[in-house]
């Protein structure tokens, strides 16, 4: 079974058969398999969004830098 990491703190989680859930070794949070999958999906989409934002920001800086250059010359 691949290692599962806690969406809250990033700690390693183990499967608790009586609870039918994953439990975090670090913070003790309890996630069902479904909720864990949901949380991970959300995490990935947030990361994608941040990446897109960083890209936009870089483009804006480049535009500003270029426009500044043309103004100087």
Is 12 a binder of Zn ion (CB under 5 A)? no
Is 43 a binder of Zn ion (CB under 5 A)? no
Site for Zn ion in 23-42 (CB under 5 A): 24, 26-27, 29
Per DSSP, helices labelled H in 1-73 are: 33-72
Count Cβ atoms below 10 Å from residue 36 Cβ, excluding itself: 19
CB of 22 to Zn ion, least distance (A): 10
Token pair, residue 63, equals 């535009």
Dist CA 70 CA 54 (whole Å): 25
Binding site for Zn ion (CB under 5 A): 6, 8-9, 11, 24, 26-27, 29
């Amino acid at each position: 079974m691949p290692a599962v990491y806690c969406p809250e703190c990033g700690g390693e989680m183990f499967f608790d058969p009586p609870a039918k859930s994953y439990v975090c070794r670090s913070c003790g949070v309890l996630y069902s398999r479904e909720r864990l999958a949901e949380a991970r999906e959300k995490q990935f989409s947030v990361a994608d969004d941040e990446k897109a934002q960083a890209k936009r920001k870089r483009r804006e800086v480049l535009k500003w830098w270029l426009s500044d250059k043309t103004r100087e010359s």
